[in-house]
A and B are shown apart, each in its own frame.
Chain A
Amino acid sequence: MKKGVMRPGHVQIRVLDMKEAVEHYTDLMGLIETDRDVEGRVYLKAWTEVDKFSVVLRETDQPGCDFMGFKVLNEDTLVSLTQDLKDFGLEVEEIPAEELKGCGRRVRFTVASGHAFELYADKEYTGKWGVTEVNPEAWPRDLGGMKAVRFDHSLFYGPNLPEVLDVFTNVLGFHLAEQVMDPDGNRIAQFLTASMKEHDIAFIHSDKPGQLHHTSFYLETWDDVLRAADLISMTDTSIDIGPTRHGLTHGKTIYFFDPSGNRCEVFSGGDYTYPDHKPVTWTADELGKAIFYHDRQLNERFLTVLT
């Protein structure tokens, strides 16, 4: 949080069919619908999140991710980071307050991998869902499905990773927590954080810009991951891989797809990092184990299926 970027705040996901998508993210994953807007977008949040929404669904004919937003400390930080992004040479677009309901003004920019990001300082504070602010109970009793705890991170595929690393570390103050290096010294994967979490955002190299690999949500325990797997079977949801463990971050995980083919992850555990930690390095020849610690095999679907 060196430069005042606090945390992932929201992600806008494109879906082919809104009704199916809402069922997936609420009934199956346990997110809560908090609003809809005139454009037909649906706003969702996980129960421990204090702001009004973290996931926005938009219906269109091409699945994927429109943008991911980070919340910064305050308006002053937003002003100074906007100038820093401009000084870096990025074009910055101002999105007025309330373009997303309940969200203050946003500053949008597209990095060299072809992904759009936003910074914002204000969003309607609605508090944790289903528990009181004072003397809160452990958890709300009426949560559905996987009972996702929070929107945790996104993983994107695209080109020009060195430029992306430069913006995220030097302008936005992220810390490189984990990386995958090829034999020629190229960084083919970079996991970046503004917190103690092993990643708030990650990138893997691909020649094609702007691709979404997955959107990830945190669960409390390995047992919850197993229960998520049960629910995936019960609902005949398209599964990718898991439950298993990652080598990278060492998180315990399962991957599956929403009804439009956007990959979702729920996971528990994972390592922590501080700014004085050196990046954890995996080598490309061990990429199979880096991704799926038990299988230790390169999984083509996991590496190439994107929206």
Chain B
Amino acid sequence: MPAYQVFNRTTGDSFTCNGDQSVLKAMEAVGKKCVPVGCRGGGCGFCKIRVLEGDFECGKMSKAHVPPEALAQGEVLACRIYPQADLTIECVPQPVDAVVEQATRAKQTTTRAMR
């Protein structure tokens, strides 16, 4: 199976990915953390990236996270793409969820109160 190089332009990381391996799986296998890891099944949208250069094959992904207009701009989920050439990718910013925000705020409030 041919191996390709994946370069993450946002973080400067690069790693090797086989043609039958998802970009996310290859990244996890070498212990890199340059793309957020979510469900690994195309459902949650956590590992969304933009492919700037290079061909790839694409598995099934949730339309809620990758609608056709996003796909047309190279937005995909790293857990569902399989490189067919060297890839250059970049990260797509994630919205922060309210619960994490609230809990972090609560923790800060408590820490302040204990001083």
Contacts and interface: CB of A to CB of B under 8 A. Distances in A.
Contact of A262 (B43, B60, B64): B43
A207 interface: yes
Interface in B64-115: 64, 94, 97-100, 102-107, 109-110
A62 B63 CA distance: 5
Given A303-B97, A304-B97, A285 B103 contact: yes
A260 to B, nearest CB: 5
A145 interface: no
B44 A306 contact: yes
Interface in A248-297: 257-263, 283-285, 287-288
A16 interface: yes
A285 B106 contact: yes
Nearest to B46: A305
Contact of A284 (B41, B43, B102): B102
A305 B44 contact: yes
A283 B40 CA distance: 31
Contact of A304 (B42, B43, B100, B102): B100
A207 B62 CA distance: 20
Range, interface on chain A:
35 or more
B39 interface: yes
B42 A62 contact: no
A301 B99 CA distance: 12
Determine chain B's interface SS by DSSP, over half rule.
loop
A16 B106 contact: no
A287 B103 contact: yes
A17 interface: yes
A307 interface: yes
B38 interface: yes
A260 B99 contact: no
A53 B102 CA distance: 38
B98 A298 contact: no
Interface residues of B, number: 28
A261 B44 contact: yes
Interface string B18-47: 000000000000000000111111111010
B63 A61 contact: yes
A219 B38 CA distance: 25
Given A261-B62, A298-B104, A300-B100, A305 B38 contact: yes
Nearest to B60: A16
A188 interface: yes
Interface string A186-205: 10100000000000000011
A170 interface: no
B41 A261 contact: yes
A238 interface: yes
A233 to B, nearest CB: 14
A136 interface: no
B46 A301 contact: yes
A112 to B, nearest CB: 15
Contacts of B38: 261, 301, 305
B21 to A, nearest CB: 12
A116 to B, nearest CB: 16
A16 B43 contact: yes
Given A205-B98, A238-B39, A301-B46, 9 more contacts: A63-B43, A64-B64, A188-B103, A258-B41, A261-B41, A301-B37, A303-B99, A305-B39, A305-B44
Among all A-B residue pairs, the 7 with the closest Cβ atoms: A261-B43, A261-B39, A261-B41, A284-B106, A63-B43, A238-B40, A285-B110
